[in-house]
C-alpha cells in the first residue's frame, strides 16, 4: 500500500516545495528528512514521489497552476495517463451534460479536462488507483465519486471512457498490442450498455480489428503519435471515418486529415504479407513502420528531388498517402513498407518534413565517405529506417571533414540498402494546408 496520506499531507508537500525551490540534491533532501524524524521507508517514499512532481506538473499544469500542484501517482500511473494537450482536445468531443464512467481510471488523466458539468465516476480494481483518482480530481476542482469494481460489470452512466491496461504484471510493456485488459472485444461489449464512449488504444493497434460503426482518431503532436482513440455511439459523429490530428501545446487542432474508412488498406493479401514478412527479417528493419505502412496507395518509384518523412499521426493512420497525393500525384515510396516518400515537388508541412536530396550511394564506408567529401560535409545527422547500426559509431567511422552539415539517411531503395545525403528544407507558408487541414 502506498503511503498516500503521508504524501498528501501539508507537511510533506510543503517540504517538497521548499526542496524544489532551493534545488536541493538527493543528499540534502535525505539529510533534511532524516533530521525531521522520518523513517527510512517514509524517506524513500517521499524521495521517489519528489522525482515525479516536476514530471506531472509538466504533463498536467500550465504556468499559472504548476506551482503547488500536488497530484498522487506512481511512475507507472503517470506514464499511462493522458497529457493535458490531448486531454484538453478530447474534452471537446463530449456533450455538456450527462454522466461518465471513467473505466480503468488510474490516476484520473482522462477525467481531468472533461466538462465540469459532467457527473464523473472513477472505476478501477486497484484501491491505490482509486485513492489517486479521488485526490487528483479534487485537485482539479472536480467532485467525482469512485467505485472499486470490474469495468466489464459496471453500468449506470450515459457515457464511458476507458484506457485498457497495456502493461505486464512486472511493469513491462506488452509486446502484443492486442494483449489488453479489458480486450477490445470486451470494450465493444461494454459499449453496448452506454449511449456512447471512447477507448484509448496503443497507436499501433491493428486497425482491422476495430469494429465498423466507430470513428477512429490518431492523436499526437508534431513529432509523435500518442494514441488511437476509438469513438462509439453518440460520440462517433462521423462513423466509419479515420482522422489524424496534430494537436498543439494548448490543446488546439494544428492540422487534421480525414477520409472514409477503407478496410482494403487494413488487411493484406497473401503475396504482400509474405513480401513484408521477408522484408521485416532484414537486418535492422523497424517493425513499427512495417505495421504502420503495410498497405499504401503510393506506388514504388525512383529517387526524386526530395525525400519526406510523414508526420507520425499520418503514418499510424495510413493517411500519408492521401496527404502526399493531394499535393503531388507523382509522389511515391522508394521501398515497400517504409514510410519515406519521394517526389520532385516539396511536400508541405505539417504533414511532412521535407529534405532536398543532394546525392545517394550504396551503404559502404568508402562510397559514403566519398559522397560526404564531394559535398564538403563535416557534420552529419543520421536517420535510420530499415537499417540497423549505431549512429554514433557510424559517424566516427565515416570521419566527415568539411564546412557543411547535412542529414544522412540510411534506408532501403526497392529493398536494398542505400545512403541518401540531404539537407532539410525550411517549411514554406505557401505550402501549408489551407486552414491547417486537408
Tens digit of each residue's pLDDT (9 = 90 or more) over 95-134: 999 999 999 999 999 999 999 999 999 999 999 999 999 9
pLDDT the model gives residue 280: 45
Nearest Cα to Cα of residue 124 among 94, 98, 143, 152 = 152
Q: How confident is the model at residue 68 (pLDDT cuts 50, 70, 90)?
A: confident
Tens digit of each residue's pLDDT (9 = 90 or more) over 243-296: 999 999 999 999 999 999 988 878 655 555 555 555 444 444 343 333 334 466
How confident is the model over 306-322, as a mean pLDDT? 95
- Average pLDDT over the chain, rounded to an integer: 88
Contact 430, 327 (CB under 8 A): no
Tens digit of each residue's pLDDT (9 = 90 or more) over 355-373: 999 999 999 999 999 999 9
C-beta contacts of 274-281 below 8 A and 24+ residues apart: 275/336, 275/337, 276/336, 276/337, 279/335, 279/336, 279/337, 279/412, 279/415, 280/337
Burial class (CB in 10 A: 0-12, 13-18, 19+), 399: exposed
Tens digit of each residue's pLDDT (9 = 90 or more) over 197-251: 999 999 989 999 999 999 999 999 999 999 999 999 999 999 999 999 999 999 9
Q: Is the pLDDT of residue 174 over 50?
A: no
How many of the other CB atoms lie within 10 Å of CB of 392?
Answer: 9
32 is written with which cell numbers?
533534511
pLDDT the model gives residue 167: 54
Q: How confident is the model at residue 433 (pLDDT cuts 50, 70, 90)?
A: very low
Q: How confident is the model at residue 156 (pLDDT cuts 50, 70, 90)?
A: confident
pTM of the model: 0.88
Q: Is the pLDDT of residue 318 over 50?
A: yes
Q: How confident is the model at residue 427 (pLDDT cuts 50, 70, 90)?
A: confident
How confident is the model over 312-341, as a mean pLDDT? 93
How confident is the model over 52-72, as a mean pLDDT? 86
How confident is the model over 29-56, as a mean pLDDT? 95
pLDDT the model gives residue 274: 55
Sorted by sequence, the CB contacts under 8 Å of residue 329 that are 6+ apart come out as none
Alpha carbon distance, N-terminus to C-terminus of the chain: 50
344 CA to centre of own chain = 30
The three-point CA angle 285-288-293 to 5° equals 95
Give me the phi and psi of 83, to 5 degrees please: -75, 165
What whole-number distance in Å separates Cα of residue 130 and Cα of residue 122? 7
Preceding amide of 182 cis, omega within 30: yes
Report the SS3 class of residue 243: strand
Percent of the chain with pLDDT over 70: 86
Preceding amide of 350 cis, omega within 30: yes
Residue with more model confidence, 298 or 279: 298
What whole-number distance in Å separates Cα of residue 70 and Cα of residue 303? 53
Report the SS3 class of residue 36: coil
Tens digit of each residue's pLDDT (9 = 90 or more) over 8-30: 999 999 999 999 999 999 999 99
Q: In Å, what is the CA distance from 419 to each residue of 77, 256, 358, 416?
A: 41, 32, 11, 10
pLDDT the model gives residue 178: 63
Amino acid at each position: 500500500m502506498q503511503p498516500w496520506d503521508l504524501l498528501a499531507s501539508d507537511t510533506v508537500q510543503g517540504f517538497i516545495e521548499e526542496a524544489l525551490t532551493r534545488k536541493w540534491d538527493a543528499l540534502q533532501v535525505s539529510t533534511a528528512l532524516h533530521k525531521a524524524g522520518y523513517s527510512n521507508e517514509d524517506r524513500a517514499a517521499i524521495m521517489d514521489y519528489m522525482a515525479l512532481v516536476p514530471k506531472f506538473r509538466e504533463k498536467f499544469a500550465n504556468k499559472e497552476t504548476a506551482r503547488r500542484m500536488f497530484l498522487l501517482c506512481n511512475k507507472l500511473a503517470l506514464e499511462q495517463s493522458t497529457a493535458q494537450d490531448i486531454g484538453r482536445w478530447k474534452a471537446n468531443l463530449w456533450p455538456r451534460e450527462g454522466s461518465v464512467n471513467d473505466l480503468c481510471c488510474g490516476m484520473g488523466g482522462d477525467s481531468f479536462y472533461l466538462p465540469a458539468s459532467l457527473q464523473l465516476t472513477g472505476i478501477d480494481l486497484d484501491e491505490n488507483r482509486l485513492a489517486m483518482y479521488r485526490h487528483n480530481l479534487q485537485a482539479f476542482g472536480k467532485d467525482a465519486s469512485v467505485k472499486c469494481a470490474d469495468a466489464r460489470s459496471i453500468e449506470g452512466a450515459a457515457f464511458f471512457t476507458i484506457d485498457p491496461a497495456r502493461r505486464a504484471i512486472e511493469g513491462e510493456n506488452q509486446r502484443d498490442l492486442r494483449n489488453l485488459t479489458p480486450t477490445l472485444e470486451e470494450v465493444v461489449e461494454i459499449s453496448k450498455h452506454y449511449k456512447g464512449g471512447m477507448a484509448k488504444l496503443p497507436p499501433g493497434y491493428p486497425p482491422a480489428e476495430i469494429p465498423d460503426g466507430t470513428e477512429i482518431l490518431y492523436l499526437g503532436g508534431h513529432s509523435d503519435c500518442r494514441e488511437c482513440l476509438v469513438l462509439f455511439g453518440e460520440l462517433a459523429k462521423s462513423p466509419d471515418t479515420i482522422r489524424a490530428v496534430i494537436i498543439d501545446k494548448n490543446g488546439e487542432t494544428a492540422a487534421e486529415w480525414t477520409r472514409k474508412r477503407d478496410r482494403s488498406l487494413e488487411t493484406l493479401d497473401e503475396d504482400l504479407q509474405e513480401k513484408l514478412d521477408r522484408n521485416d527479417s532484414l537486418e535492422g528493419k523497424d517493425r513499427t513502420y512495417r505495421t504502420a505502412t503495410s498497405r499504401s496507395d503510393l506506388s514504388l518509384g525512383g529517387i526524386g528531388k526530395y525525400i519526406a518523412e510523414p508526420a507520425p499521426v499520418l503514418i499510424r493512420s495510413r493517411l500519408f498517402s492521401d496527404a502526399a497525393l493531394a499535393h503531388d500525384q507523382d509522389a511515391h515510396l522508394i521501398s515497400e513498407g517504409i514510410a519515406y516518400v519521394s517526389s520532385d515537388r516539396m511536400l508541405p508541412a505539417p504533414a511532412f518534413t521535407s529534405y532536398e536530396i543532394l546525392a545517394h550511394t550504396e551503404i559502404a564506408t568508402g562510397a559514403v565517405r566519398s559522397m560526404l567529401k564531394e559535398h564538403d560535409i563535416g557534420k552529419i545527422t543520421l536517420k535510420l529506417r530499415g537499417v540497423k547500426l549505431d549512429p554514433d559509431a557510424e559517424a566516427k567511422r565515416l570521419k566527415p571533414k568539411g564546412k557543411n552539415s547535412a542529414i544522412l539517411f540510411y534506408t532501403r531503395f526497392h529493398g536494398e540498402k542505400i545512403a541518401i545525403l540531404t539537407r532539410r528544407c525550411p517549411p514554406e507558408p505557401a505550402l501549408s494546408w489551407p486552414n491547417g487541414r486537408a
